[in-house]
């Protein structure tokens, strides 16, 4: 009997859409209604709080994923993507409650997934190439895969920021908590 | 003006309950309805899948957090906690659909938070000491803080397992994705 490799999946557009559709509700369930001090928590210096991350995700919906997919489909490698502003969220989010940001992220994601489905991408579309200003040649398939992993990376970040607030309070259990000790499993 | 330290929070029972109450809905939003192959995904060898993690959390609700809190309150350091079985979930979950496990986890967590509130813990209760079979003396405050961090650690794990399924598909973006490259930020 063949052993199934459970560590990798080949790209699937349907599975990608399913995963992307789950992110707004996941972050909403994790964050909405938490005390403000937890929403504003960070890991020191210029690290991001959960609040900052939601602003970053909103900016990505507006300027990164679908706009870059369209650049690939319309211009191929002939036009590099616009650079992504990793600090735009501080303007996007200023003085707004988290609940507003969560609602906006959910609405933008819904619309972007509609737009993605409307593109009716074929396998050969997914092989089309674009040009990233730093990484060089990338494919549409790689862009959409990255969208999924990027969402999950920020769910990790938000969870880690929250958990580390109790770094001192957990006492001896620190040794068992990879999220606090910094070890990856 | 004093700088506020946003990297640590002192333990608060109300905030702890708020955080613990968010976990079942977060994992539900992340996982319910995903294709089976993603639910069964892992990081190789004996690493856990999202499915395995939910079984582990169920077993924790049954045998770890509240039962250990009661041992501290009733026996103090006089009686060590029972050892936690880190493999019990394979029996708990066998042949059950994920939706069942998510429902059971949510119901157990709800009941456990009711039980926790009913204990009406005072500050001096939180200082009470118990004995962990490996870590030695721990306090009730440390146990409850660990419950929070443990939830978040498993949200991190599930998110990481999912993201890494596309480790190859993201191509050059791998360099930017800490969740795949393994670097912690």
Q: What is the mean pLDDT of chain B?
A: 95
Please report how the helices B50-63 and B13-31 are oriented relative to each other, as an axis angle in degrees rounded to 10. 150
B143 Cβ neighbours under 8 A, 6+ residues apart? A173, B65, B68, B69, B72, B130
Report pLDDT digits (tens) over B110-161: 999 999 999 999 999 999 999 999 999 999 999 999 999 999 999 999 999 9
Q: Do B160 and A160 touch (CB under 8 A)?
A: no
pLDDT classification of A2: cutoffs 50, 70, 90: low
A3 touches chain B (CB under 8 A): no
DSSP secondary structure code for residue B176 in this structure: G
Specify the pairing of strand B136-139 against strand A129-132.
Answer: unpaired
Q: Residue A134: is it exposed, middle or buried by C-beta count within 10 angstroms (0-12/13-18/19+)? A: exposed
Smallest CA-to-CA distance from A152 within B162, B151, B35 is with: B162
Q: What is the mean pLDDT of chain A?
A: 95
User: What's the pLDDT score for residue A185?
Assistant: 43
Q: Say yes or no to pLDDT of A183 above 80.
A: no
User: What's the pLDDT score for residue A3?
Assistant: 66
Report pLDDT digits (tens) over A145-175: 999 999 999 999 999 999 999 999 999 999 9
Which of A126-130, A177-181, B82-86, B91-95 is the most confident on average? A126-130
Q: Do B165 and A136 touch (CB under 8 A)?
A: no
Report pLDDT digits (tens) over A63-115: 999 999 999 999 999 999 998 888 887 888 989 999 999 999 999 999 999 99
Q: Which residue of A has its CA nearest to B142?
A: A170
Q: Do B6 and A136 touch (CB under 8 A)?
A: no
**A 45-74 residues inside an 8 A Cβ radius of B:** 47, 49
User: What's the pLDDT score for residue B185?
Assistant: 43
**What mean pLDDT comes out for the span B8-35?**
98
How many Cβ pairs within 8 Å bridge chains A and B?
Answer: 221
Q: Say yes or no to pLDDT of A182 above 90.
A: no
Q: Which residue of B has its CA nearest to A165?
A: B8
Instruction: Nearest by CB to B9, from A157, A166, A172: name it.
Output: A166
Report pLDDT digits (tens) over B34-50: 999 999 999 999 999 99
């Amino acid at each position: 009997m063949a052993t199934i490799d459970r560590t990798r999946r080949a790209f699937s557009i349907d599975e990608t859409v399913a995963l992307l559709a789950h992110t707004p509700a996941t972050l909403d369930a994790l964050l909405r209604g938490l005390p403000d001090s937890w929403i504003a928590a960070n890991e020191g210096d210029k690290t991001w709080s959960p609040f900052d991350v939601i602003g970053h995700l909103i900016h990505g919906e507006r300027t990164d994923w679908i706009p870059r997919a369209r650049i690939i489909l319309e211009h191929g490698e002939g036009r590099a993507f616009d650079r992504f502003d990793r600090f735009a969220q501080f303007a996007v989010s200023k003085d707004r409650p988290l609940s507003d940001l969560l609602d906006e992220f959910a609405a933008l994601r819904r619309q972007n997934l509609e737009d993605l489905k409307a593109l009716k991408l074929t396998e050969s579309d997914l092989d089309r190439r674009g040009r990233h200003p730093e990484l060089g040649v990338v494919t549409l398939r790689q862009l959409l895969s990255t969208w999924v992993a990027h969402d999950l990376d920020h769910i990790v970040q938000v969870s880690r920021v929250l958990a580390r607030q109790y770094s001192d309070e957990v006492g001896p259990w620190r040794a068992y908590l990879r999220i606090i000790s910094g070890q990856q499993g």
